[in-house]
C-alpha cells in the first residue's frame, strides 16, 4: 500500500536574514540623495523627543495612476501633519510607514521636493535588494528632526518577498530624560490563504526584534497585517504585542476601525481592520489618538482615483 506525502514547500532562501541597509538624505548642494548608515554621520543632531507621530498606509501597488496616487498621499499627509509652529511648511515630527510601494512610486517619492527637504527615506532606487524580487515593497520615511541609529530589513519566509523594515530612532524618556533607542517596524504580512500558514511565524519573528534585543528600549510594529483567517485575531497576543486600537477602547467588530473594503470595485469580501499598530507591552511606550485616515481621498488630477484601496492609520507615540 502506497502512502501519499504532500510536497514540502521549500523555505525562502533568505528567511530570517536581517540586513543593515542604512538610509538616505538629500544633499541640496550636490543635488542628489546620499546613503548613510546613521544620521550621526551628519554631525550632532537635534535633541531627542519623547513623542512623535506615526502613520502606516498601504498605498496599493496595483491600481492605475501610481505616481499621481503617491503624490496625492504625500499631499494629504503634508496637510494633516502640519504643526504651524515653525512656519507654514513645518510638520510635527513623524515617521511614515508605507507598504505596497511599487517601482514607479519609489521614483516619485525620491523626486518629491517636500520629502527631500523634510525626510530621511529608506529607498530611493529600485535596482537592488527587495526591488529585484518584487513589484512592490516597504518604504519608511523619518522626519529629519529625528535622529536615526540603525536601519534593518528583516526577510520573512514568504512566497511574496515580504519583510519587516526596522528603523531604530533616538528618543528621550519623558520620565527620566534619558536618551533611548526605539525600534519601529514597517511590515506587510503574507496575503491570502497560503497552503502553509505564514503570518503567525512572520509576526513572531518580527516581534523578537522588538521584544528581546537588549539594545532596544522599546518598540512597535505597524503595517498591513492581512487578518483574513480565524487565527489572525489572536496574532498580536501570540506574538507578545499589544494592539493600539484595542488598547485605546476600539472594538474589533466596529466599522470605525476598518481600513479595507470600502474603496475597492465590486468587493465581495468582508470589510476588515487590515492595518494595525502593535507595540511592546509594559510602561515604556504608549500609542494615543489612534485614528483611521485617508478616507475617501482621491487624486487631484483626472482621472480622479482613490489614493489606495486601504485607509491609513495614525497614532501619537509617547515614550515613557
C-beta separation of 174 from 121 below 8 A = no
Interval 75-123: pLDDT, tens: 999 999 986 544 455 567 999 999 999 999 999 999 999 999 999 999 9
Q: Is residue 8 part of a domain?
A: no
Q: What is the pLDDT of residue 61?
A: 98
CA dist 248 and 251 (Å) reads: 9
Q: Is residue 273 part of a domain?
A: yes
Q: Is residue 185 part of a domain?
A: yes
Q: Is residue 161 part of a domain?
A: yes
Domain count, the chain: 1
Run means of pLDDT, 10 residues per run, the chain, 320 residues: 58 94 98 98 95 97 97 96 59 92 98 97 96 96 97 97 98 96 98 91 98 98 96 95 98 95 88 97 97 97 94 97
pTM score, whole prediction: 0.95
Q: Is residue 181 part of a domain?
A: yes
69, 81, 311 from 300: Cα distances, Å: 9, 19, 17
Q: Is residue 3 part of a domain?
A: no
15 closest CA partner among 208, 223, 280, 202? 202
State which residues form the domain around 239: 18-23+30-319
C-beta separation of 227 from 203 below 8 A = no
Could you tell me the CATH number of the domain that includes residue 218? 3.60.10.10
49, 59, 63, 65, 311 from 304: Cα distances, Å: 39, 15, 12, 9, 17
C-beta separation of 250 from 256 below 8 A = yes
Q: Is residue 105 part of a domain?
A: yes
Q: What is the pLDDT of residue 265?
A: 82
Q: Is residue 11 part of a domain?
A: no
Amino acid at each position: 500500500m502506497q502512502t501519499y506525502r504532500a510536497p514540502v514547500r521549500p523555505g525562502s532562501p533568505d528567511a530570517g536574514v536581517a540586513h543593515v541597509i542604512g538610509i538616505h538624505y538629500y544633499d541640496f548642494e550636490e543635488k542628489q540623495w546620499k546613503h548613510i548608515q546613521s544620521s550621526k554621520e551628519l554631525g550632532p543632531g537635534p535633541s531627542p523627543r519623547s513623542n512623535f507621530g506615526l502613520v502606516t498606509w498601504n498605498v496599493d501597488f496595483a491600481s492605475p495612476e501610481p505616481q499621481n496616487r503617491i503624490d496625492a498621499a504625500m499631499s494629504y499627509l503634508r496637510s494633516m501633519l502640519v504643526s504651524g509652529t515653525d512656519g507654514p511648511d513645518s510638520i510635527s515630527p513623524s515617521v511614515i510607514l508605507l507598504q505596497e510601494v511599487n517601482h514607479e512610486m519609489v521614483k516619485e517619492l525620491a523626486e518629491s521636493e517636500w520629502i527631500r527637504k523634510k525626510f530621511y527615506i529608506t529607498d530611493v532606487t529600485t535596482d537592488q535588494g527587495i526591488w529585484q524580487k518584487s513589484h512592490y515593497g516597504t518604504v519608511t520615511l523619518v522626519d529629519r528632526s529625528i535622529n536615526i541609529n540603525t536601519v534593518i530589513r528583516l526577510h520573512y519566509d514568504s512566497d511574496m518577498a515580504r519583510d519587516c523594515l526596522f528603523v531604530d530612532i533616538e528618543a528621550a524618556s519623558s520620565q527620566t530624560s534619558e536618551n533611548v533607542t526605539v525600534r519601529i517596524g514597517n511590515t506587510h504580512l503574507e496575503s491570502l490563504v497560503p497552503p502553509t500558514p505564514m503570518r503567525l511565524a512572520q509576526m513572531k519573528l518580527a516581534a523578537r526584534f522588538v521584544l528581546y534585543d537588549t539594545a532596544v528600549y522599546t518598540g512597535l510594529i505597524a503595517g498591513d497585517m492581512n487578518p483574513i483567517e480565524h487565527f489572525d485575531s489572536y496574532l498580536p497576543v501570540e506574538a507578545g504585542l499589544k494592539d493600539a486600537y484595542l488598547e485605546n477602547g476600539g472594538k474589533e467588530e466596529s466599522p470605525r476601525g476598518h481600513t479595507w473594503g470600502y474603496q475597492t470595485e465590486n468587493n465581495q469580501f468582508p470589510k476588515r481592520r487590515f492595518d494595525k499598530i502593535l507595540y511592546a507591552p509594559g510602561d515604556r511606550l504608549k500609542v494615543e489618538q489612534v485614528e483611521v485616515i485617508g478616507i475617501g481621498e482621491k487624486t487631484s488630477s483626472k482621472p480622479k482615483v482613490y489614493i489606495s484601496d486601504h485607509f491609513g492609520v495614525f497614532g501619537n507615540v509617547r515614550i515613557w
